[in-house]
Amino acid sequence: MNDTASETIVCTACGALNKAPAAKLAAGARPKCGKCGAPLFSGEPVAARSVADFERQTSKGTLPVLVDFWAEWCGPCKAMAPQFSAAAAMLEPGVRLMKLDTEALPEVAGRFGIRSIPTLILIRGGREIARQSGVMDAQSIKRWTEAAMQRG
């Protein structure tokens, strides 16, 4: 068995680590969590619920995580939300899309030095590999993410 042939996916419901063959994911399989039975992918972004949840999602799995730093008061963030959701449907299961409310989790926003929102940060293995501020449409989010993964 080649280790690179499987992905470790963090369950967004219970946090359990699940192994799935990369080839099956690429072929359209949509596995469920072995511990709680929740689907590992929903086609929608997942919200970071706590600092610990954010840490686990971004550092324990092998999938890159695209994080949307947003806030309730931010008009452009709200304008981008449906575009980010559409991008999740296009980018899963190769990438996990996550929304981070900068008002609810200011520690995380501070650690990444977020100065304007919306800001997208692509994280792999706990490490930032790219960031982009400003509103993007779904296609632009997809293209930008794929280009960043090629480089990073």
Residues with a catalytic annotation lie at 74, 77
Question: Distance between terminal CA atoms of the chain?
Answer: 25
What is the smallest separation between the CB atom of 67 and Zn ion, expressed in angstroms? 20
Closer to Zn ion at the Cβ: 25 or 121?
25
Closer to Zn ion at the Cβ: 29 or 79?
29
Site string (4-23) toward Zn ion, x via CB under 5 A: -------x-xx-x-------
Selected from 8, 23, 26, 35, the binder of Zn ion by CB under 5 A is 35
Closer to Zn ion at the Cβ: 50 or 116?
50
| Nearest alpha carbon to residue 45 among 102, 7, 5, 83 | 83
DSSP letter, residue 137? -
| 140 Cβ neighbours under 8 A, 6+ residues apart | none
Report the alpha-carbon distance of residue 152 to residue 150 in Å, rounded.
6
Site residues for Zn ion, window 58-117 (CB under 5 A)?
A: none
